[in-house]
């Protein structure tokens, strides 16, 4: 999504979301990103773990740089996915942002107890949702350094930044 110049690296984002409207809105925001983004979408927690472990039809998918994870999902909920990912030494460094409509204190606390990197309340208003996604992009993709990747041969890359001069 977006054109990639030779010196720019594409940011791979995994969106774990079962709501088609939220998927569409996220795709729209990411399409207008200043950072080259490849958005990968799975619709439940089982598919999320298959994607992260590169199993089944996700065998050739890249390791995500960032995960946007809904809390309430079919087959395996967001808390379970979060616990599994943060409990796996090969996945725990991927930043996971919980993106949910729940404002329940127990959900917020449970996600941070499971080492979520951020808990974001999903606004119901279209403009506010788009604004939130733009804030996510500015902070996580343009300001923060993301952890290095370790490839299948054990080689480690440098910490990743998607910021470019002029952004």
| CATH code for the domain in which residue 83 is found | 3.40.50.2300
Whole-angstrom distance, CA of residue 16 vs CA of residue 158: 26
Residue 107 lies in a domain: yes
pLDDT at 17: 97
> What pLDDT, in 10s, does the model give residues 16-69?
999 998 899 899 888 888 888 999 999 999 999 999 999 999 999 999 999 999
Burial of 103 (0-12, 13-18, 19+ CB in 10 A): exposed
In a domain, 113, yes or no: yes
Q: Is residue 42 part of a domain?
A: yes
Domain count within the chain: 1
Asked if residue 150 belongs to a domain, the reply is: no
User: Residue 153: pLDDT above 70?
Assistant: no
Q: 164 lies in a domain?
A: no
166 within some domain: no
Range of the structural domain that residue 36 is part of: 11-143
The winner for highest mean pLDDT among 6-15, 20-29, 139-148 is 20-29
- 160 is a domain residue: no
Q: What is the pTM of this model?
A: 0.87
In a domain, 82, yes or no: yes
Q: What is the pLDDT of residue 154?
A: 60
> Got the DSSP string for the chain?
-----TT--PEEEEEE---HHHHHHHHHHHHT-SS-EEEEEESSHHHHHHHHTT-GGGTTPPPPSEEEE-SS-SSS-HHHHHHHHHHSTTTTTS-EEEEES---HHHHHHHHHTT-SEEEE--SSHHHHHHHHHHHIIIIIIISPBPPPB-TTS-BPPPB----TT-
């Amino acid at each position: 999504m977006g054109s990639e110049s030779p010196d720019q690296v594409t940011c791979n984002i995994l969106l774990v979301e079962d709501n088609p409207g939220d998927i569409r809105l996220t795709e729209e925001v990411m399409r207008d990103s200043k950072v080259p983004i490849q958005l990968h979408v799975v619709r439940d927690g089982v598919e999320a773990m298959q994607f992260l472990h590169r199993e089944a039809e996700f065998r050739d998918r890249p390791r995500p740089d960032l995960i946007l994870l809904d809390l309430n999902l079919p087959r395996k909920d967001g808390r379970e996915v979060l616990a599994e990912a943060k409990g796996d030494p090969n996945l725990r460094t991927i930043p996971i942002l919980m993106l949910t409509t729940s404002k329940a204190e127990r959900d917020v606390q449970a996600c941070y107890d499971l080492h979520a990197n951020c808990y974001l309340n999903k606004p119901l208003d279209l403009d506010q949702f788009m604004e939130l996604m733009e804030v996510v992009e500015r902070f996580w993709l343009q300001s923060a350094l993301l952890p290095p990747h370790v490839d299948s041969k054990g080689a480690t890359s440098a910490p990743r930044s998607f910021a470019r001069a002029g952004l």
